[in-house]
Amino acid sequence: MVIGQIATSTDFLVAGGGPGGYVAALRAAQLGRTVTLVDRDGLDGVGGVCLRVGCIPSKGLIEAADLAHRSATDGPAYGLKTKYGGVDMSAFQAWKAELVTGLTDGVRGLLDKAGVRVVEGNLSLSKPDEAVVSTPNGQANFLKFRDLVLATGSRPIELPGFEINGDDILDSTGALNLETLPGAVAIIGGGYIGLEIGIALAKLGSAVTIVEALEGVLPAMDRRIAKPVEKRLGELGVVLHARSKATAFENGELTVETADGAEQIAADKVIVAVGRKPNSDDLGLDLARVSPDNHGLLPVGADRRISNHIAAIGDITSGPALAHKASAEATVAAEALCGRKVAFQPTAIPAVVFSDPEVASAGLTAADANAEGIEVKTTNFPLSASGRARTLNTANGFLQIVSAANGDIVLGVHIVGPHASDLIGEGVLAIEMGATLEDLALSIHPHPTLSEQFLEAAHVGIGQPIHLAVLGKK
């Protein structure tokens, strides 16, 4: 690239190095394109929010917290003389840094082997076929491109009156970088981000309060799914203020407006987790004759293109802001720009919450089906009837299958319980392939495993329950 108005050329350009951007870059390189990837943090940014400050680090914190908590609370049930002696957050941060570095190096290696050039800077369109990359040192470098994938991701939504200061008011990134465990934490937002962080900190010993404006945690999910999680919050000592609004934080006290009036909640740290905002501003999209909607999302076709030579994927497009959705879109976008006839048309995109218990959902709920005029039936298998779950000393959860009333085709799977995140893949496969309840019931599942819940729920659905004392068909 050349500084100033003289532009150099690149064949295939990608903006953003997250799970959408780097996958698009790799797929385009596989298809023979010469690829340049621009990320605001350069090589340090590959992997994106998910790998560096989101999905991966948060799962590390959750795993550490669960290990500590289970050793202390479930240990005695197994005859183990264990107790929780506290956490060295500095040591945890060192382990987390090593984890992230290892995975980031892996992505860098893949890009390097594929011949993808990584450039540091912020990208915006300067012409319909040209982008300007603004570097940290103030340079403006111009790149003419043949094709472009926009995968710029999202950032935390800012809450007026609760500006992130990196001290006592934090976003999710700050919460995952804590060097000491706070005595009391207030979390604004009961969605998956706030819930995961809140439960982990509670297990490590913080006094946690969650403030949610809507009727309960996980407001975007079915209430039947959220209820077991709310029950568990109480058992962990987490205080939930639903239908409430945080209005101010001063001198270590959070003011919360509840149905019963204002309350003062002591907090060493306030974590703001009220959602994420697409990074679709400042991209020069008017030059592509495209405007984001009121939510900052870009209109895309089934092949993820917004014009003949520009595609958009991930958090800046409609649908759930999930890493796996972005990666799936990335392959479609890259192939479409390489001339292949492809479309992003998943029947189900799984959503997972690494709470306690874990929650996973794919496809339609019964309410979704009713709204679409589809007649369905729901079958449930309680976790309490799972032998493997009982060896984990838990019975809090269930697996539900939503199927067509006529034909028993699987339309949705919803799981609450341990390892729901690992189990939902079978549900997605069943939905995508149009499997029936009988297909699941006739598929031999290993015993004793949590995956048997699929088989058991399917048996209930076809009227042949085995491990539930309900009347079945002869």
Report, as residue numbers or ranges, the catalytic residues. Answer: 447
For residues 259-282, one letter each, b for 16 or more C-beta atoms within 10 angstroms of the residue's C-beta and e for the rest, the string is: eeeeeebebebbbbbbebbbbbee
- In sequence order, the 6+-apart residues with CB closer than 8 A to the CB of 243 are 212, 213, 214, 215, 258, 259
Q: Are 25 and 116 in contact (CB under 8 A)?
A: yes
Q: DSSP per residue over 18-65, as a string?
A: STTHHHHHHHHHHTT--EEEEETTGGGGTTHHHHHHSHHHHHHHHHHH
CA 440/CA 430 separation, integer angstroms? 8
Tokens representing 66?
Answer: 């669960």
Tell me 9's DSSP state: E
Q: Side-chain half-sphere of 275: how many Cα atoms within 13 Å?
A: 12
Shortest CA distance to 384 belongs to which of 392, 376, 372? 392
Tell me 177's DSSP state: T
Q: What is the largest CA-CA distance in the chain?
A: 80
CA 428/CA 107 separation, integer angstroms? 26
Tokens representing 338?
Answer: 């390489």
> Is the preceding omega at residue 57 within 30 degrees of 0, hence cis?
no
Residue 345 corresponds to which amino acid?
Answer: Q
Shortest CA distance to 455 belongs to which of 395, 385, 371? 385
- In sequence order, the 6+-apart residues with CB closer than 8 A to the CB of 413 are 360, 361, 362, 363, 399, 400, 401, 402, 424, 426, 427, 428, 430, 431, 454
